[in-house]
Structure 1
Amino acid sequence: MRVGLIVDSACDLPHEFSRKHDLFILPVTAVIDGETYIDEHDPVRTQEFYQKGLLEKGRHAETHAFTTDQIYDLFMEKIVPQFDVAICETVTRSRSLIYQNATEAMNSVMANHEQVRSASGREGKFSMRVIDSKQIFAGQGLLAAHTLRLIDQKLSKNALRNEVERFSDKIYTCIIPRDLHYIRERARRRGDKSVSAVAAFLGKALNITPVIFGQGVQGQPVAKTRNFGMAVEKVMNYATARVEAGLLTPYVSLSCGLSWAEIEDLPGINQLRNACECNGVELLLSQMGITSSIYVGPGSLCLALAAEPHGFNDYQ
């Protein structure tokens, strides 16, 4: 039985990790200054976006989920002929239409897949499940990495789905937005009122950089710092201490909307690397993808790990 894992372009993971584990990327449409791009997590394309400044502030950028028909066509062409079981983990349904569209596409696939299956020469039944990851960006990447471990354990389909959904509630995410005004404007266009105008104003007026922390997307500000570097240091201290205290899966996922040179200069990055190495944890370090960078803003940072219930300030 061949099991395939599908994630969408909001999922941040190192390209080599995705390639090694044969992850299938469900694309997202990005529109920047009126130009349309398809974000397939191509590392060359992503690097071009950073080098050309297409992800910088001042540009009008937005993302759109693939339609149900587009997703259906991809599933029928790429997934049904290759896998016996397919799991599609989407960015949280509260922030995107991807989950809804993928679910509708899956239902059509399950009703119409037999002829494609037969023509491909694959025997046996095909089954598929779309799961709301309840995560964004690095958190979604962490869930995907853990799901791959579960697939290797050859769990039954139901056990795999139940374990993925249970594990998702154990993921803690830190986000450092570079510009609260950017997030507020993006949220306004989506009808999301979770970022207040007052918070955006204070962040700009006082040069405050917050650390937003919580389970999944249920984040709250847990620290207000005077600059980005201080916020990064707090997040790195938290992650290092949490790694040393023990995790529920041997991964820390970290994505940054920065150049690789800037990523290597982040305060505390080597401290976190050393802690991971000493504790048998793999640091999944990636450049923030096009979709996630548009969503949270250029220059931002997202870190995720899985652990028992705790607070951010317990590990400072």
Structure 2
Amino acid sequence: MQETAILADAACDMPRAMMDALGVHTIPFRIRAGDRFVVDTRDEAALPDLYQQYLVGKQDHYAESIPLLERELEDHLLRHVVAGCDRAILLTIASTRSKFYANATGAVVGTVARSFKLRKDAGRSGLFDLTVIDTGAIGPGQALIVREVARMLADGADGADISHAVETRLRDAAHMIMVPNELLYMYTRAKQKGENSITWGRYMLGNAFNIRPIIRMHQGETEAIGKARGQEEGIRRLLAHAESCVRAGCLLTPDISVAYAGNIDEVRAWPAWQALAATAERAGVELMLAPMSLTVALNIGAGAFSIGYLSEVPPPFV
């Protein structure tokens, strides 16, 4: 049987302990701040300092996340992946949000062609097999698809089965809902990207009355679906919505993913989290709580909170 590795870029908000247990390999992003670069590898221990360095109070938005180019990705795979397995499935951030998927598909031929000698030296025969799949999701939504792919592999699915499942079922079922904390940060970032999830009018109104937008990402696109009086209320409603999904039995997979651009120990102390955890435990639903990747947090600011789930017909958000 071929040995198969699961790869995900650094925007995948899966807990590091779970990634390690499932053998998920992280493909890094570069973070550019002026003329300085750091690497986002989803190092959870480093994330609190990175939030302070690149997010908190940084209203000039000089930092940005940059995906590896084709040749850089080839080099990374050749150094870290191809000699250790026969096949890899790379599950990328939504192609509508990043050029990483395009760069990854462009790197397939070069990676396979350059893998032969390395694999031979490692005692492996044949060419390396690399499948690249656009999850259509980001952050916690992407993490849920990676989690389901790991289950499918454990049950004996092959690359074609997995591609079909993601492209026809999982991608369309992935929902991510988030509430920001720093409105000025998110307004400026959205303006730079040509998005209208937060307009100038919404920013001014939100700033004056402590209103936070509630934003959903589905099928690669974002839209504002509500508003909350303060981030605390927004977070409570997100967690209550996740609990309603569990109670309704509408989850496609038995998981809910949560990411927070702050100290996740705070999350565990919230009554709304504890209520969700109790409901999820009774229903056999796994909660995946992780610090938000720097790549994702750079777009929405420090203190942002998001949930993700897979559902074909979720209950309405209230």
Name the TM-score class by shorter chain. Answer: over 0.9
Asked whether 1:58 is paired with 2:61, we answer: no
Deviates more, 1:10-19 or 1:257-266: 257-266
Q: Which amino acid aligns with 1:58?
A: K
- The SS at the match of 1:182 is helix
Under a length normalisation based on structure 1, what TM-score does the superposition of the two structures give? 0.92
CA distance in 2, matches of 1:88, 1:15: 17
Deviates more, 1:253-262 or 1:268-277: 253-262
Superposed displacement of residue 102, structure 1:
1.2
Would the alpha carbon gap of residues 134 and 232 (structure 1) be closer, same or farther in structure 2, given more than 3 Å must change? Answer: same
Q: Is the 8 A contact 2:183 2:206 kept in 1?
A: yes
Superposed displacement of residue 263, structure 1:
2.1
Q: Deviations over 1:255-299 (max 9, x none)?
A: 001113432343501011111111111100011122111122111
CA distance in 2, matches of 1:251, 1:12: 13
Match of 2:155 in 1: 153
- The SS at the match of 2:45 is helix
Superposed displacement of residue 311, structure 1:
4.2
Superposed displacement of residue 222, structure 1:
2.4
Match of 1:221 in 2: 224
Unaligned runs of 5+ in 1: none
Match of 1:237 in 2: 240
Match of 1:295 in 2: 299
- The SS at the match of 2:8 is strand
Match of 1:19 in 2: 20
Q: In structure 2, which of residues 96, 99, 108 is the aligned counterpart of residue 97 of structure 1? A: 99
Asked whether 1:176 is paired with 2:179, we answer: yes
Q: Is the 8 A contact 2:253 2:310 kept in 1?
A: yes
Superposed displacement of residue 195, structure 1:
4.0
CA distance in 2, matches of 1:215, 1:308: 11
Match of 2:73 in 1: 71
Superposed displacement of residue 217, structure 1:
3.5
- 1:186-205 correspondence runs (5 A): 186-192=189-195, 194-205=197-208
Q: Deviations over 1:123-171 (max 9, x none)?
A: 3443111111110111111111111111111112211210122211111
Asked whether 1:276 is paired with 2:276, we answer: no
Match of 1:5 in 2: 6
Superposed displacement of residue 33, structure 1:
5.5
Superposed displacement of residue 191, structure 1:
4.3
Match of 1:36 in 2: 37
Under a length normalisation based on structure 2, what TM-score does the superposition of the two structures give? 0.92
- The SS at the match of 1:20 is helix
CA distance in 2, matches of 1:128, 1:256: 32
Q: Deviations over 1:215-247 (max 9, x none)?
A: 243333222111111111111111011112221
Q: Which amino acid aligns with 2:6?
A: L
CA distance in 2, matches of 1:97, 1:235: 29
Q: Is the 8 A contact 1:186 1:295 kept in 2?
A: yes
CA distance in 1, matches of 2:174, 2:10: 19
Superposed displacement of residue 34, structure 1:
4.4
- The SS at the match of 1:312 is coil
Match of 1:109 in 2: 111
Identity %: 26
Q: Give the count of matched residue pairs.
A: 313
CA distance in 2, matches of 1:118, 1:53: 44
Deviates more, 1:72-81 or 1:189-198: 189-198
Q: Which amino acid aligns with 1:55?
A: L
Unaligned runs of 5+ in 2: none
